[in-house]
Amino acid sequence: MIERGNPVPSVRVKLVDANGIADSTSDAILGTGLVVLFSVPGAFTPTCHVNHLPGFIANQAKLHAAGVTRIVCASVNDQHVMKAWAEASGALGKVDFIADGNAELATALGLAKDFSGSGMGTRYARAAMIIRNGIVDNVFVEDAPGVSASGAPAILMALETANS
Which position among 11, 43, 48, 91 bears the catalytic label? 48
Within a domain: residue 25?
yes
The amino acid occupying position 71 is I
State pLDDT tens for residues 13-60.
Answer: 999 999 999 999 999 999 999 999 999 998 888 777 668 999 999 999
Number of structural domains found in the chain: 1
Supply the pTM of this predicted model.
0.95
Q: Which residues are within 8 A (CB) of 52 and not within 5 positions of it... i.e. 6 or more apart? A: 38, 40, 126, 147, 150, 151
Q: Which residues are within 8 A (CB) of 19 and not within 5 positions of it... i.e. 6 or more apart? A: none
Confirm whether 73 is a catalytic residue.
no
Q: Look up the CATH number of the domain holding residue 150.
A: 3.40.30.10
Within a domain: residue 5?
no
Q: Provide the residue range defining the domain that includes 55.
A: 12-163
Within a domain: residue 3?
no
**Residue of 90, 59, 70 whose CA lies nearest to 153:** 59
State pLDDT tens for residues 106-144.
Answer: 999 999 999 988 888 899 999 999 999 999 999 999 998
